[in-house]
Amino acid sequence: MKSLKASTNITKTIIYVVCIFLAILSVFPFLVMFINATRSTFQIQQDSVSLLPSKYLASNWAVFKGKSFNPVVGFVNSMLSSGGATLCAVYFSSLTAYALVAYSWKLRQPFFTFILAVLMIPAQVTGIGFYQFMYRIGWTNSLLPLIIPAIASPSMVFFMRQYLLATLSLDIVNSARIDGAGEFYTFNRIILPIMKPAMATQAIFTFVFSWNSLFIPLILLTNSKKYTMPIMVSLLRGDIYKTEYGAVYLGLSLTVLPLFVIYFLLSKYIIAGVALGALKE
């Protein structure tokens, strides 16, 4: 018994060492980034890893303003497109899921099977057709093609359906009917509030996913006034910043900052959401 306890203690020590190492591995690159954002290019060239912030934040910022990188434009465009996509996805996925759960109609099962079938089909591999289509109708350099397609989000419909199956009692719907409520009114005023927890989780993921996406925005947006954040970021890889190390780190920090705020405010829900996503089968 004693030796078991001893071996448990050794294993526990190993576990903590490994976990702490992995935690540092997660944080360290971002730490270097934030600190180097406050250091001058000369300091970074002398020694690129420092745990002490310096005082060159303002001068790094000044390097930016002279160049084409405009984080404010990117931030606004990303906010509009990700916010719009999230609203569309959450509302219409809930509506579709409600149609699948609350009503019995002939095509219900085939429709659900269809949603399962297209669950994993990514937009990226059909990007060429999508680009040509958008080009023809004049929707390139518009945020609309980043927002409207979110109305059909199969995986979110799937998730919302599972949630409704577990939580919705049709008695509520029936009593609303007896009180004379229309079906659409019932959905908006009674069902949506019930779905709030699921909507919140899904909203976070859709927002982050949309905020981070690069491929489709990159092929559609050529006007720098319409650039989203990830496209703005990709400019930092260009020649104009080749020797401006401090400015590059500052630019990267600016794009990460909003995500850090979201993550550390909502991490509890995000982790729970990831776990839930796995159990959706």
Of 157-196, which residues contact another protein (CB under 8 A)? 157, 170, 174, 177, 183, 187
Residues 6+ apart with CB under 8 A from 272: 201
Query: For residue 187, what is the DSSP state?
Result: I
Q: Tell me if 44 contacts another protein by CB under 8 A.
A: yes
Question: Which residue lies nearer to another protein by CB, 182 or 196?
Answer: 182
CB of 205 to another protein, least distance (A): 9
Instruction: Write the CA distances from 212 to 112, 140, 165, 173, 270, integer angstroms.
Output: 29, 19, 31, 38, 16
Structure tokens at 171: 């008695």
Q: Tell me if 214 contacts another protein by CB under 8 A.
A: yes
Question: Which residue lies nearer to another protein by CB, 123 or 200?
Answer: 123
CB of 19 to another protein, least distance (A): 5
Q: Tell me if 45 contacts another protein by CB under 8 A.
A: yes
Dihedral sign, CA of 268, 262, 34, 275? positive
- Report the distance separating Cα 78 and Cα 88, nearest Å: 15
CB of 15 to another protein, least distance (A): 5
CB of 138 to another protein, least distance (A): 11
Which region holds residue 141: left if phi is over 0, alpha if psi is between -120 and 50, else beta? left
Binding segment for another protein (CB under 8 A), chosen from 54-62, 64-72, 79-87, 254-262, is 254-262
The footprint of another protein on this chain (CB under 8 A) covers a number of residues equal to: 104
DSSP string, 6-71: HHHHHHHHHHHHHHHHHHHHHHHHHHHHHHHTTS-HHHHHH-S--SS--S-HHHHHHHHHTSS--H
CB of 24 to another protein, least distance (A): 9
Which residue of 181, 192, 208, 240 would you call a contact of another protein, by CB under 8 A? Answer: 208
Q: Tell me if 263 contacts another protein by CB under 8 A.
A: yes
Q: Tell me if 130 contacts another protein by CB under 8 A.
A: yes
* Whether 20 contacts 34, CB under 8 Å: no
Q: Tell me if 126 contacts another protein by CB under 8 A.
A: yes
Of 60-119, which residues contact another protein (CB under 8 A)? 92-93, 95-96, 98-100, 102-108, 111, 113, 116-119
